[in-house]
Structure 1
């Protein structure tokens, strides 16, 4: 099957909140419930939550942030991957790579040319995954997390 994204709706809400990462990874990413709550409290269009399916099988969840005021002062606007939860039994099968590519495509569709992400530093975090995908550390931190950026080419 080919993975695909599906908007979160009342029909698939329970499926989405059932996504759980591997034990020991919980400290590195918030649960889907928190992501959906955060999506709800931000202005419309800021959060882009999606269920990741392979056929009809739920394999993960992602949430992008789109055109946010990064520093809260109007000086810099950014878009990127806010959350990525790949189900425990589905990791290592390319769904994370698919998620990042999907967010990149949505950002490009909206005219953006960079995809930002943050991650918890440390050997048990996702840093190697993001670096393998081509993200570079930009020297910033956000909430104690490393900030990475991936150029998307011509928007």
Structure 2
């Protein structure tokens, strides 16, 4: 990371192009959707999406989007309301510098401030999966699948 302190910033007209320019490594493209798709999803699901640029100094180094208070499976348990990390994209040029860890910690702090006791995340299984990254941050597997993705949870208490 630069000498400045990274922070999360809302996506605005001023940083939109830089946020959309975030690209993961080519070998990771099958694991995470492009930022522009996330922003479209944030627009469509505005009540629950929390998209943020990951900024260090004046440079956008990544993108993270949380989901806030979504009924996980209303058919099974309408009281099972969850929040967590929906998408995390760290630009290829800025990976392995701590920005992903920072983003997860910033999102979990936001969720704690909103009263959440757990944070959820999903990821694509297979080669290059971010599973070791999330497990290393304390997430644990739930045994659930969501759209073919692995589900994990982190206790925030």
Residue among 6, 9, 13 paired with 1:6? 9
Match of 1:54 in 2: 56
Q: Secondary structure at the match of 1:27?
A: coil
Match of 1:38 in 2: 41
* Distance (whole Å) between structure 2 residues aligned to residue 16 and residue 131 of structure 1: 27
Match of 1:120 in 2: 124
Deviation at 1:42, TM superposition (A): 1.2
Match of 1:26 in 2: 29
> So what's the TM-score if we normalise by structure 2?
0.94
* Distance (whole Å) between structure 2 residues aligned to residue 96 and residue 72 of structure 1: 31
Deviating above 4 A after TM superposition, structure 1's stretches of 4 or more consecutive aligned residues are none
* Distance (whole Å) between structure 2 residues aligned to residue 103 and residue 68 of structure 1: 16
* Distance (whole Å) between structure 1 residues aligned to residue 93 and residue 19 of structure 2: 15
Superposed, 1:103-118 pairs within 5 Å as 103-118=107-122
The 1:57/1:50 distance shift into structure 2, 3 A limit, reads same
Residue among 128, 136, 139 paired with 2:143? 139
Q: Secondary structure at the match of 1:137?
A: strand
* Distance (whole Å) between structure 1 residues aligned to residue 82 and residue 46 of structure 2: 15
Match of 2:80 in 1: 76
Deviation at 1:43, TM superposition (A): 4.1
| C-alpha RMSD of matched pairs (Å) | 0.9
* Distance (whole Å) between structure 2 residues aligned to residue 131 and residue 43 of structure 1: 29
- Segments of 5+ residues of structure 1 without an aligned counterpart are none
Q: Secondary structure at the match of 2:27?
A: coil
Count of residue pairs the alignment pairs up? 152
> So what's the TM-score if we normalise by structure 1?
0.95
- Segments of 5+ residues of structure 2 without an aligned counterpart are none
